[in-house]
Amino acid sequence: MKDQTVKKITEKLEKAGLMPLRAQAELSEKLLSYRLESLLPELMEECGSDMWLIAAYENNEDPVMKTLLTYDMRTARRLSAILFCRDSETGRIDRLSWGIPSGIMKKYYTPIKQGNESLAQGVARMIKKYGPRAVEVNIKGEYGGFCDGLSASLYEELRNMPDGLGNLLKPCERLSTRWLETMTCGELKVMEALVEVTEDIIKASYSRGVITPGRTTTEDVEWFMRDVINGCGMDFWFGPDVNLQRKGTESYSFEGIVEEGDLIHCDIGVYLKYIPVLTDKQWMGYILKQGESCAPEGIKRLFKTANRFQDISCEGYLAGKTGNSVFRDGVSKAKAEGICPSLYCHGLGTFGHGAGPIIGRYDCQDNIYPRGELHLGMNTSYALELNITGELPEWGGQSVRMALEEDIHVKSSPKYVFGRQESIMEI
């Protein structure tokens, strides 16, 4: 079963230009080139930025720096920096690197380090050359750490630049958030391919080829998923996690043997080596009892209710709305229809729990501050993560949870990246 699944997925990845690894590396260069040449100038104009500095020590990289390095540079080198500087005469954004010894990086950034100068000396030279109104650095932590990657020691060094130049430093939470949350058309195409193969992994896992009731454990299913992901040259950014609900047991079981009549739930997300685009999905399945040809009607109805809550929530993902307003609208509309909802969504793409607004939290079904007050940006992606609870007649009125998660993308209107689960999987 594993070998068949790996072969099927590998063929899809090759067709999408994501395998073999060399093809993926070449595509990563094209995607980075477009971001630097087209997206970056737009975002710096949108945010009114003249100079943006991203600096980090090796193995302590700023989250933003990881999106700026080429495939041959997996980390910073000792101490490295990237600067984006606006030419005051032409308006052009010059892309500069300091202390990064890479031939491929030179295709995108102009090296500026002189001899044994310190980082502060190099930055001071560029400030005097370009004359920015401010030097934006990543030193603000209120937005999930995505604008907080400059280490304390480097910040102190830069603050002490000569001639009072350190006073030009200011946080750039808006620019760093927009850079990390925005997904280009090329990256969205990659995401579509990865979401499709994530579904393939779930479908293969939710089968009698993998699950033998009374013998297979949830951990066995998780390891099948990991082995398939690894066999396809991908990786997982959490888990994957598989858990159960069972008649007569009110709580979720994260460990145990899968039995006939169980509800099974998984949470899985994958990513590639060279292209920072991630997926995050949760699907539900039912383990058929001997003699059953389909899931009980109550389970199918509950699943459709979860689909309905997805529809209600997804409709609210409009550029310009705050995360808190998306949360309030979705939950209140669902409750008005008699649904018992829980909504907890997050940005997705460059990182799994990504930059941008948070829409509710699993442990806090309320407005979230300050990140809930961030606005949804155009061309951004999210994990539409939620659950509904309801009583199941076939289980004696026991409360059952349907937890689903799908990847969506915001343009002029929201859309699912690659469809969604439309019915309970019958295993």
- pLDDT, tens digit (0-9, with 9 covering 90-100), for 173-204: 999 999 999 999 999 999 999 999 999 999 99
140 occurs within a structural domain: yes
Query: pLDDT at position 220, please?
Result: 97
DSSP conformational letter for 105: G
Q: What is the pLDDT of residues 383-424, one digit of tens each?
A: 999 999 999 999 999 999 999 999 999 998 899 999 999 999
Are residues 186 and 144 located together in one domain of the fold?
no
Per-residue model confidence (pLDDT) at position 348: 96
Contact yes or no for 284/404 (Cβ under 8 A): yes
CA dihedral 121, 125, 126, 131 (to 10 degrees): 130
Which run of H or of E encompasses 406? strand 398-410
The residue from 107, 140, 171 where one domain ends is 171
285 and 398 belong to one structural domain: yes
In order of 65, 105, 250, the CA distances from 71 in angstroms are 13, 9, 48
**Res 367 pLDDT > 80:** yes
Taking all residues of the chain, what is their mean pLDDT, rounded to a whole number? 95
- The whole-number average pLDDT for the span 108-123 is 96
Q: How many Å apart are CA 121 and CA 123, to the nearest integer?
A: 6
Structure confidence at residue 365 (pLDDT): 95
When pLDDT is cut at 50, 70 and 90, the band that residue 20 belongs to is very high
Instruction: Supply the pLDDT for residue 143.
Output: 82
Last residue of a domain, one of 109, 143, 171: 171
Residue 11, in any domain of the structure: no
**Residue 101 pLDDT:** 81
Q: Is residue 36 part of a domain?
A: no
* CB neighbour list of residue 180: distance below 8 Å, 6 or more residues apart: 63, 64, 67, 146, 347, 349, 350, 351, 354, 355, 356
- The string of DSSP letters for 126-169 reads HHHHH--S-EEE--B-TTTTTB--S-HHHHHHHHT-GGGGGGGE
Mean pLDDT of 345-371: 94
Look at the chain and report how many structural domains it folds into. 2
* Residue 14 Cα distances to 33, 185, 193, 275, 418, angstroms: 22, 19, 10, 14, 18
User: Are 263 and 158 within one domain?
Assistant: no
In a domain, 196, yes or no: yes
Asked whether residue 197 falls in the same domain as residue 332, the answer is yes
Strand (E) or helix (H) holding 329: helix 323-336
Same domain for 147 and 101, yes or no, is yes
Same-domain status, 223 and 260:
yes
Same domain, 164 and 188: no
Name the DSSP letter for residue 39: I
- Strand pairing of 51-57 and 135-137? parallel
Looking at residue 57, what DSSP letter applies?
E
Q: Is residue 26 part of a domain?
A: no
- Residue 316's pLDDT is 95
Residue 392 pairs in a beta bridge with 398
Q: Classify residue 136: in a domain, yes or no.
A: yes
pTM: 0.95
pLDDT(250) > 80: no
Query: In this predicted structure, what is the pLDDT of residue 25?
Result: 97
CA dist 95 to 11, 55, 75, 85, 150, Å?
Answer: 37, 14, 18, 7, 19
Residues 80 and 158 in one domain: yes
Contact between 71 and 29 (Cβ < 8 Å): yes
| Shared domain check, 199 and 97 | no
d(CA 101, CA 51): 22
Peptide bond into 240 cis (omega under 30): yes
CATH assignment at residue 188: 3.90.230.10
CA 168/CA 155 separation, integer angstroms: 12
User: Which of 171, 193, 213 marks a domain boundary?
Assistant: 171
pLDDT in tens, 139-169: 998 888 899 999 999 999 999 999 999 999 9
Mean pLDDT, rounded, for 267-282: 97
Same domain, 196 and 232: yes
Q: What's the pLDDT tens digit per position in 331-347?
A: 999 999 999 999 999 99
Give CA 92 to chain center in angstroms.
Answer: 30
Same-domain pairing of 276 and 365:
yes
Question: Is residue 250 one of the residues assigned to a domain?
Answer: yes
In this structure, are 215 and 161 located in the same domain? no
Q: Establish if 44 belongs to a structural domain.
A: no
Find how far residue 321's CA is from the centre of its chain. 20
* Residue 1 pLDDT greater than 90, yes or no: no
292: containing domain? 182-426
**pLDDT for 95 beyond 90:** yes
